[in-house]
Every structure is written in C-alpha cells, then in structure tokens.
C-alpha cells in the first residue's frame, strides 16, 4: 500500500496516483477497481474525498500458476517398485528353513 499512498506534512494520508507505474496499476484488482466519493461531514466542514481500491490477491495467483504447472498433487498413491505393494505379502503357511 505504501506504493499508492503518501502522507502530507500534517500527517494526512492521500492517494498518490501520479507516480504510479504500469506494474502498480496492474496490481489493482479488476473486479473491484477504484471507487471515489466526496462527502461533507458537517456544516463548515471541509469536503472529504474517499478513494478505495483493492489489490489483487498474490497468493491465489501463485497457487493457480503452481496448479497449472503441476506442482501440487491432489491424489497421492504409494507403491513399491513396478507398482508392487510397499509391504510384501507374507505367506504364513510357508515352511521356514531349518537351521
């Protein structure tokens, strides 16, 4: 958010759009966009301009890319060599070698 907001010498925050790069503009969520509204809180009060915007969810975008590249497996199957079971089947009826 510090890329989009500045602070005056009085400590009042303001949205600084004039220095915004193309990359910063692309980070604004397309489904939300910008909303600008003006209100006057009370008589003799200064006009208040409210600007709201939402940045895109970086984590969700990275998860989508990871799924596309096959980095995440939804199903895990475990098997031994050439598809054999991990635990060998023990024949309890087999004779033990004497010795």
pLDDT digits (tens, 9 = 90+) for 46-60: 677 777 778 888 898
Tokens of 40: 């006057």
Domain spans of the chain, in order of start: 5-75
pLDDT band at 93; cut points 50, 70, 90: confident
CA distances in angstroms from 74 to 27, 60, 63, 71, 77, listed in the order given: 29, 17, 13, 10, 10
pLDDT, residue 1, reads: 73
Are the C-beta atoms of 34 and 28 separated by less than 8 Å? yes
Per-residue pLDDT of 63-81, as tens digits, reads: 999 999 988 877 767 787 8
C-alpha torsion 16→17→23→28, nearest 10 = 90
pLDDT, residue 33, reads: 64
Tokens of 42: 């009370």
């Amino acid at each position: 958010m510090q890329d989009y907001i500045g602070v005056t010498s009085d400590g009042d925050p303001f949205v600084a759009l004039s220095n915004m790069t193309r990359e910063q503009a692309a980070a604004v969520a397309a489904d939300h966009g910008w909303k600008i509204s003006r209100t006057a809180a009370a008589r003799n009060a200064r006009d208040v301009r409210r600007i709201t915007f939402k940045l895109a969810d970086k984590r969700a975008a990275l998860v989508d890319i990871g799924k596309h590249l096959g980095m995440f497996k939804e199903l895990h199957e475990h098997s031994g060599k050439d598809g054999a079971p991990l635990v060998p089947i023990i024949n309890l009826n087999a004779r033990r070698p004497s010795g």
